[in-house]
Structure 1
Amino acid sequence: MLTLLFLTFCSKTDVATDYDKTVDFSKLKTYNYWEADKTKDELSDIDEKRILSAIDEQMTRKGYVKNDSPDFLINLVTDSTETQNISTYYSGSSYKRTWGWGSGHSDQTVSTITQGILFIDILDAKKKKLIWQGKRTGNLANTIEEKDKNAVLLASQILKTFPSKIAIVK
């Protein structure tokens, strides 16, 4: 099972967001999680618990309240991509006293890098239509310590541009 959620924070990371410009986000006050599309095949229960807790923390900071009759729903979607990095090293020719000029040769190393993608989808609770989406791409974390450390950072990076009730009210 691929526990894809927790991405390491290195130089090769991407965060992107998009939203429906016709939505009045100032009317949104409450949220809950969409149970329909659980990504259990790629997201362990432990990782899911970590990220949902981190999202709850971010939503509370932004002034939203978790409720059984929500204005919007949050859905998590995970994906991964594997890329191969091929490095070629050349050794030039060299002069050897007994043999003359030697020929150069090349060596190649191939490494596979798995990058995880976490989408946080925000849907209108009544219409079940996507109104906001954030995603984060990065290398996967391997240790429990990395996963614990990155949970809040991951949620805060993705949700950074999601409108804050506190900012809207002011």
Structure 2
Amino acid sequence: MKNLFNTFGILVTIFIFTSNSIAQVNSDYDKSTDFKKYKTVSFGGWEKESDKILNDFDKKRITDALTNEFNSRGIKLVDANGDATVTLYLVIKNKSNITAYTNFNGGLGYAGRWGFGRGIYGGVGSASTSLSENEYREGTIVIDLYDTAQKKLIWQGDMTTEVQEKSEKREKSIPKNIKKLMKRFPVDPIKK
């Protein structure tokens, strides 16, 4: 029984710590828009000073990943006056989670006329609980795509995930997460 509780506690702890890094993705778009007519996209910039949150390396990682995703769909990035304009908005929040791990220990007790044994009749047991707090940063990126001529929002995608502290991890996770977000884009990548 003790092993069952220990195994359960370990599984809960693993789930909590790994669930932080799972990206939550949402998107919405104008259903009346023919997205196949968009052949070029221009970068409209970062909204509300979001670019000041990131260093230049991470900004480039994000824009390069977006460029690759648009290119894979036959949409070319141009300097200005694209058929569509993409803007980016970023929010970073400091977060924490608390994990409680309880270890149950059974006890010996008097088991009636039959002598001592593990008992339901007043056996003394014990339990100890330990808490651990994990602090991390959570980032949300919002990608808005506008029809340039009509100045109308046609697609919005957002993703929330744990921000990786090490640049080597961000170098891998940013393109992977942008790819995951762009799977929600109404135009699929061109099959080669």
TM range (shorter): 0.7 to 0.9
In structure 1, runs of 5+ residues without a counterpart are 1-7, 96-100
> Does the 8 Å CA contact 2:50/2:91 hold for their aligned counterparts?
no
Q: Which amino acid aligns with 2:84?
A: F
How big is each residue's C-alpha offset from its partner over 1:66-86, in whole Å with a ceiling of 9 and x where there is no partner? Answer: 232211111111113444322
Number of equivalences: 156
Q: Could you list the per-position Cα deviations for residues 53-109 of structure 1 after superposition, in whole angstroms to 9, with x for gaps in the alignment?
A: 1111111110012232211111111113444322334466888xxxxx797654433
Q: Which has the higher helix share?
A: 2
The code of the aligned residue for 2:160 comes to T
**Counterparts in 2 of 1:42 and 1:166: CA distance versus 1, 3 Å:** closer
Structure 1 equivalent of residue 14 of structure 2: none
Q: TM-score, normalised by structure 2?
A: 0.67
Distance 1:110 1:50 in 2: 30
Question: Post-superposition shift, 1:33?
Answer: 0.5
Contact 2:21/2:162 (<8 A) preserved: no
Q: Do structure 1's residue 74 and structure 2's residue 97 form an aligned pair?
A: no
> Out of 123, 130, 134, which is 2:146 matched to?
123
Max radius of gyration: which structure?
A: 2
Q: What secondary structure is seen at the aligned counterpart in 2 of 1:108?
A: strand
Task: Show structure 2 runs of 5+ residues with no match.
Answer: 1-17, 108-123
Write out aligned runs for 1:17-166 (5 A).
17-35=27-45, 37=47, 38-67=49-78, 68-90=80-102, 106-164=129-187
Q: TM-score, normalised by structure 1?
A: 0.74
Relative contact order higher in (CA < 8 Å, ≥ 6 apart): 1
Given residue 60 of structure 1, which amino acid in structure 2 is its aligned partner?
Answer: N
Q: How much does 1:47 deviate?
A: 0.7
